[in-house]
C-alpha cells in the first residue's frame, strides 16, 4: 500500500461571475513511503490546484468534485477539519511558494516554531527550544536568527526556515510547491540540495511541484507531467530523460541546453494551454503538438502503461505497442519538433568587432547610512568598466546583492556614481556624460534608454488598456498625435508577434498570459526608439517554454534594430542563450569578464564556477539526441 493514493481526483471552480472550469480532471497517482516525486507543467496546468486539494486547503469557489485521497490507508477526502488538524504538521506538511508571505511578520521565528511544535507534540519549554536549535542546524542557519523577526532574514533564509518548520514534527509526507521560485540560482541549489539530503536521511515522502523540469529531474525518483488539468505522463526520472513518451514532455525537455556548447539550440512548445472553461474535444495538447494525427482531435487518450511508464498519447501508444489499423504515424523521436531558438558563436564574433556606444569607466557607487552619530559606508559597486556595442547583448550575472541592479540604475541615470564615468554616444550629436545630466538633457537620455522589468504581472497598469500603455511613450517622447500613436502602437504589437494587433489594443493586462504581458512590456520599451534596453531578469518568472520564446524575441529585435541590451540575470544558462559578453559580479566587483562562451566554458574565477555548478543540467549524465 502506498503512503498517498489519489484516485480520479477532480477539482472544479464555479465562480459566480465567470464560467465554471475543471482545473484538475480525474487525476490518479500514488506516492510511496520515502519516495521523491516531481510534478511538472506550465503555469495553469493545475499543479498548485492539485497540491492544494491534496492538503485539503481548496477554498471557494473551488471544490473537490470527484475522486478520493487516501493517506496511509485512511480516506481524507471528506474528513472533518477537526480530524484533519491532527494530521497537519505532524503527518503532512508543506512548504509554500512564496517565502516572503509564508511567515507571520509580527511573530518572532521561535514563536512560530513553538506554536507548531506544542500543538502536535508533548514538548514544552526548553525541550522546544532545543528542537528549534536542531532544526536550524539541520537547514544550516545561524542560531542567532532564532529570535529574529521574518523581515530580518533574506529570501533564501526565510525559505530555509519554512523548510525547517515543515520538518519540525517529523512528517511522513511533505508537499513542496515551487519552493525556490524567485531565489537566485546559488541559494536555490543550496536549498534543494538541503531538501534532498534531509529527505534521504529522514525518509519522508515528497511531492515536488515546479515548472522547472531541469530542477525536478535533478532531484526526483519519478516524475508526473501535468497538462490542462490532466496527467499526461508518469515516468522514472532517468527514463523520462532517455525516452520521453508524451510530446509535451519532449517540449519541456527541449527548453534546456548545455551552456558550454558552441551553438545553443533550444526548442519550445508554441501556442498556449487551452481555455478550460471551454469544452475540450479530443486530446487537449493536439493544437500545439507536432506529432498529432486525426485520432488526436477525435478522442481524448487515457493514461495507460507504455514502455515502462504511463502516458496519455495515441501516437506513443501506437508507435510502441502496435498499429493494427495501419494508421499513418510520424517517426518516433526523442526531441520536440517545434520552433527552435539558436545562438551561434559567429553572431557574437561579428557584434564584438563594433565600436561601443556606451562606455562605463571605473564606476563606483557608495551608499552612506546614518545610525545616530555613526555613519556606515556600503560599497554597492566598485570600479566597474565595460562597453556596450550596437546589436550586442551584455549580461550582468551574479547573486542577489552582487550589485547588478545598482549598476543598471547608474546606467539609466536613476543613481549617480560616486566616482568614475559613463559615456553615451547618440546616433547623431556629441558624446554625453551621463553622470552630469540634468533637466532636458536627462529627459532626452532617458528616451534613449528603456527598461524591461522582471515581473510582467506588475509592470503594466491593470486599470489601463494596452493601447494606453503603448501610446503614452509615443506621445511623450515622439510627439505623435492620438491617431498616429494608435497606428504605431498596432505596429509595435505586430513587431512582438501579438497579431492581429486589433485584437490586443483594447485588452487589459489581466486578459493576457505572462509571456504576452512581457511582450507588451518589450513593445513599450521599443516605442521610444531607444539605443539601449536594460532588461532586469525579464524571464525569471516565466515558464520554460515562454522563456525561450521571449529570449528569441529579444534576440531578433537586437538583430533587426541594432539596439543594445544590458541583460541582468542570476542564471548563466539564460545569459549564455542570449548574451554576447558576460560580466560576473560578486560583492559589487567584476570578478570575470569576456565573451559568453569563453566565460562559461573556461571560467577563471571560483565564484563563476559556483554559479555554473548551481545551474540544473538534467542531461549531465544522459545523452539525448
Tell me whether residue 150 is exposed, middle or buried, using C-beta atoms within 10 angstroms of its C-beta: 0 to 12, 13 to 18, 19 or more: buried
Asked if pLDDT for residue 438 goes beyond 60, the answer is yes
Asked if pLDDT for residue 317 goes beyond 90, the answer is yes
pLDDT tens digits, residue range 406-434? 999 999 999 999 999 999 999 888 899 99
> 385 — phi, psi (to 5°)?
-135, 135
| Residue 259 pLDDT grade (very low, low, confident, very high; cuts 50, 70, 90) | confident
DSSP for 405-422?
Answer: HHHHHHHTTSS--SEEEE
* Mean pLDDT estimate for the chain: 89
For 96, the grid coordinates are 509554500
385 CB burial (10 A radius; 0-12, 13-18, 19+): middle
Neighbours of 65 (CB within 10 A): 17
Predicted local confidence at residue 280, as pLDDT: 86
pLDDT digits (tens, 9 = 90+) for 320-369: 988 888 889 999 999 898 888 888 888 777 888 889 999 999 999 998 87
Which of these ranges, 55-64, 171-180, 446-455, 478-487, has the smallest mean pLDDT?
446-455
Q: Could you give the CA distance from residue 467 to residue 290 in angstroms, rounded to a whole number?
A: 34
* All domains in the chain, ordered by first residue: 102-170 (no CATH), 345-458+531-614 (3.40.50.300)
Averaged pLDDT, 26-48:
93
* 3-state class (DSSP) for residue 124: coil
What is the pLDDT, as a whole number, of residue 99?
Answer: 57
The bridge status of strand 304-306 relative to strand 309-311 is antiparallel
Q: Are 478 and 529 in contact (CB under 8 A)?
A: yes
C-alpha cell at 275: 481555455
Q: Provide the 8-state DSSP code for 330.
A: P
Q: How many CB atoms are closer than 10 A to CB 146?
A: 18
Instruction: Say how far apart CA 66 and CA 50 lie, in whole Å.
Output: 12
CA 108-109-111 angle, 5° bins:
70
Looking from the CA of 101 toward its CB, the CA atoms found within 13 Å total 5
**Mean pLDDT along residues 163-171:** 92
Cα–chain-centroid distance for residue 163? 20
Q: For residue range 87-139, list pLDDT tens digits in order.
A: 998 999 999 876 567 899 999 999 999 999 999 999 999 999 999 999 999 88
pTM summary value? 0.84
Give the separation between CA 553 and CA 508, rounded to whole angstroms: 22
Amino acid at each position: 500500500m502506498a503512503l498517498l493514493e489519489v484516485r480520479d481526483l477532480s477539482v472544479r471552480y464555479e465562480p459566480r461571475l465567470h464560467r465554471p472550469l475543471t482545473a484538475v480532471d480525474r487525476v490518479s497517482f500514488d506516492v510511496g513511503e520515502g519516495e521523491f516525486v516531481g510534478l511538472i507543467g506550465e503555469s495553469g496546468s493545475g499543479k498548485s490546484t492539485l497540491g492544494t486539494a491534496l492538503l485539503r486547503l481548496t477554498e471557494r469557489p473551488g471544490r473537490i468534485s470527484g475522486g478520493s485521497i487516501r493517506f496511509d490507508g485512511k480516506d481524507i477526502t471528506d474528513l472533518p477539519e477537526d480530524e484533519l488538524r491532527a494530521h497537519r504538521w505532524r503527518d503532512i506538511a508543506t512548504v509554500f511558494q512564496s517565502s516572503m508571505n509564508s511567515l507571520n511578520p509580527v511573530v518572532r521565528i521561535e514563536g512560530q516554531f513553538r506554536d507548531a511544535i506544542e500543538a502536535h507534540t508533548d514538548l514544552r519549554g526548553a525541550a522546544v527550544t532545543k528542537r528549534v536549535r536542531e532544526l536550524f542546524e539541520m537547514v544550516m542557519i545561524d542560531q542567532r536568527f532564532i529570535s529574529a523577526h521574518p523581515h530580518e532574514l533574506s529570501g533564501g533564509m526565510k525559505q530555509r526556515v519554512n523548510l525547517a518548520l515543515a520538518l519540525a514534527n517529523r512528517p511522513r509526507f511533505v508537499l513542496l510547491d515551487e519552493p525556490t521560485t524567485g531565489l537566485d540560482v546559488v541559494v536555490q541549489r543550496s536549498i534543494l540540495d538541503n531538501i534532498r539530503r534531509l529527505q534521504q536521511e529522514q525518509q519522508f515522502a515528497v511531492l515536488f511541484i515546479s515548472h522547472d523540469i531541469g530542477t525536478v529531474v535533478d532531484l526526483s525518483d519519478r516524475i508526473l507531467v501535468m497538462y490542462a488539468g490532466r496527467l499526461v505522463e508518469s515516468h522514472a526520472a532517468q527514463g523520462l530523460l532517455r525516452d520521453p513518451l508524451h510530446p509535451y514532455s519532449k517540449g519541456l525537455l527541449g527548453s534546456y541546453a548545455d551552456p558550454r556548447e558552441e551553438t545553443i539550440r533550444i526548442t519550445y512548445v508554441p501556442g498556449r494551454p487551452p481555455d478550460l472553461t471551454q469544452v475540450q474535444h479530443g486530446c487537449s495538447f493536439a493544437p500545439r503538438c507536432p506529432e498529432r494525427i486525426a485520432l488526436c482531435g477525435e478522442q481524448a487518450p487515457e493514461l495507460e502503461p507504455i514502455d515502462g511508464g504511463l502516458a496519455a498519447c495515441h501516437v506513443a501508444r501506437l508507435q510502441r505497442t502496435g498499429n493494427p489499423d495501419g494508421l499513418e504515424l510520424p517517426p518516433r523521436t526523442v526531441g520536440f519538433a517545434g520552433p527552435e531558438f539558436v545562438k551561434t558563436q559567429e553572431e557574437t564574433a561579428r557584434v564584438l568587432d563594433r565600436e561601443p556606444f556606451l562606455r562605463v569607466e571605473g564606476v563606483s557607487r557608495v551608499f552612506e547610512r546614518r545610525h545616530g552619530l555613526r555613519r556606515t559606508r556600503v560599497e554597492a559597486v566598485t570600479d566597474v568598466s565595460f562597453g556596450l556595442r550596437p546589436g550586442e547583448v551584455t549580461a550582468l550575472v551574479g547573486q542577489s546583492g552582487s550589485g547588478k541592479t545598482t549598476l543598471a540604475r547608474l546606467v539609466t541615470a536613476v543613481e549617480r556614481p560616486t566616482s568614475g564615468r559613463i559615456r553615451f554616444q547618440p546616433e547623431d550629436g556629441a558624446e554625453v556624460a551621463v553622470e552630469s545630466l540634468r533637466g532636458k538633457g536627462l529627459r532626452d537620455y532617458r528616451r534613449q534608454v528603456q527598461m524591461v522589468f522582471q515581473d510582467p504581472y506588475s509592470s503594466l497598469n491593470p486599470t489601463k488598456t494596452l493601447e494606453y500603455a503603448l501610446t503614452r511613450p509615443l506621445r511623450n517622447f515622439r510627439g505623435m498625435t492620438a491617431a498616429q500613436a494608435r497606428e504605431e502602437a498596432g505596429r509595435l504589437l505586430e513587431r512582438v508577434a501579438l497579431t492581429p494587433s486589433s485584437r490586443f489594443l483594447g485588452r487589459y493586462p489581466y486578459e493576457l498570459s505572462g509571456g504576452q504581458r512581457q511582450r507588451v512590456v518589450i513593445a513599450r520599451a521599443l516605442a521610444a526608439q531607444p539605443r539601449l534596453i536594460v532588461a532586469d531578469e525579464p524571464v525569471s518568472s516565466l515558464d520554460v517554454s515562454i522563456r525561450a520564446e521571449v529570449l528569441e524575441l529579444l534576440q531578433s529585435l537586437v538583430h533587426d534594430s541594432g539596439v543594445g541590451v544590458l541583460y541582468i540575470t542570476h542564471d548563466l544558462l539564460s545569459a549564455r542563450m542570449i548574451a554576447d559578453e558576460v560580466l560576473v559580479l560578486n560583492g559589487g566587483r567584476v570578478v570575470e569578464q569576456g565573451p559568453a562562451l569563453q566565460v562559461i566554458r573556461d571560467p577563471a574565477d571560483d565564484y563563476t564556477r559556483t554559479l555554473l555548478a548551481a545551474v540544473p543540467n538534467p542531461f549531465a549524465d544522459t545523452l539525448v539526441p
